[in-house]
Amino acid sequence: MNQRERFLEIMDFNTSAATMKWEFGYWGETLDKWYAAGLPKKQYPQLPQPTDSFATPTSHLYSPAWTCVKRDTLPRGIAAMAGGLYWPTQGFPLDYDVRNFFGMDYTQILVNVNLLFCPVFEPQVIRQDERTFEYRDVDNVRRVFLKDEATIPTPLEYPVKDWASWQKLKEERLSLKNIKDRFPDNWDELVKSYRNRDYPLAIGGYPHGFFGTLVHLMGYENLFIAYYDDPRLVHDMLSTFTELWIEVYSEVLSFTDIDLVQIWEDISAGTGSMVSPAIIREFMLPCYKRFTGFLKERGVDLIFVDTDGDCFDIIPLFIEGGATGMYPMEASCGMDIVKVRKAFPKLKMMGGIPKSEIALGRARIDQMLEPVEEVLKTGAFIPFGDHFVPPEVPWEDFQYYRNKLNEMIDKAAR
């Protein structure tokens, strides 16, 4: 089996197929520390440039910030993708050297179509000095980037402030009449490559979700208030994006099949969901059901929800909405993959390993891989660190962890 075929077998609960050897990703500072500690530097991760390809919120969000300073190393707060999180996304580079060192699998690829504003906003520099870079991004969010810290830019102003600002955006940049403008110029070439692919092909991803997109365009606090003070606005935004995504995905599926859909939500925090089940049921579930129903009618059965935090209590709602998988199962926030598997035996899972605890040494690594070994026996599970591996994790400890996990994966498939 090639990698794509194996991925599909894994997700069909075929335990004789060796699960994917992926990680979610690594922070830039982490990789630089590992290179200094002995990771062979053969293909250093390269930042996608804003002019490299079709610039969309999917592929190039934050790129103006990452590239505003010329540097020889990665920004410390950028991440290199390692399979468990799709690519392209957020102007992040791909990892090659860690993958090749451990003989890991190639990444899942995300179809890079424009799922937000069309045309995208032209990035605009507002002010810049030695320390800060303030700008508007392709999504028209005004952000500030601190050059020394070099972490993900902080939003300062959101484009959706009220009903009037939303209606203007909707009229000018969310039309269903220009769907083909949302596709890159080399779409025909991409379709040919997709038809001969040996990797999983996904669509969706950051910042696209029925909670996530609204947060992205309004901010958490504003959205929480709007659920109660302006429900008409929330419903209209959700209805508009549901219609848009169905239209775009219909066009994609007329050219190529896809293997999975990624819905980015990040709706959970360390102690549970940030919104109540009642809010999810009122606002999100009708859109989920329509959206996933459309997908399943067209043969797309792998529908993953990406949320950090403790999501255990709201898993049933996502399943009711048509989702079939969840990740990264943030063990660091109390997500117990054994408990999840027993409670939801048909749910497909990825992640589940507390990434920061790799730094605690071999005894702790052995201990935290025990539940991984148990869940691997049940299928439809791809284990990896439950978010980007932080710089506190030494290269020596990561080597022990990853080698042991790879051996565990190989053994489980025998």
Q: CA 337 to CA 234: how far, in whole Å?
A: 33
What is the topology classification, in CATH, of domain 3-413?
Answer: TIM Barrel (3.20.20)
Q: What is the pLDDT of residue 101?
A: 98
- Looking at residue 247, its pLDDT comes to 98
- In this prediction, residue 51 carries a pLDDT of 54
Give the tokens for residue 219. 């901010």
DSSP structural state of residue 347? -
Q: Are 351 and 330 in contact (CB under 8 A)?
A: yes
DSSP character for 80? E
DSSP 364: H
Q: Are 56 and 120 in contact (CB under 8 A)?
A: yes
Distances in Å between the Cα of 162 and the Cα atoms of 78, 120, 159, 266 are 32, 20, 9, 23
For the chain, domain boundaries? 3-413
DSSP characters for 89-155?
A: -TTPPBP-HHHHHHT-PPPPEE-----S-SSPPPPEEEEE-SSEEEEE-TT--EEEEETTT--SPEE
Distance CA(248)–CA(246), nearest Å, equals 6
With a cut of 50, which residues of the chain have pLDDT below it?
A: none
pLDDT of residue 49: 65
Mean pLDDT over each residue of the chain, to the nearest integer: 96
Entry pTM:
0.96
Q: What is the pLDDT of residue 52?
A: 57
pLDDT recorded at residue 50? 54
- 317 burial via Cβ count (<10 Å: 0-12, 13-18, 19+): middle
Residue linked to tokens 């992926």: 22
What was the pLDDT predicted at 54?
73
Would you mind telling me the total number of residues written for the chain in this entry?
414
For the segment 223-264, what is each residue's pLDDT rounded down to a tens digit?
A: 999 999 999 999 999 999 999 999 999 999 999 999 999 999
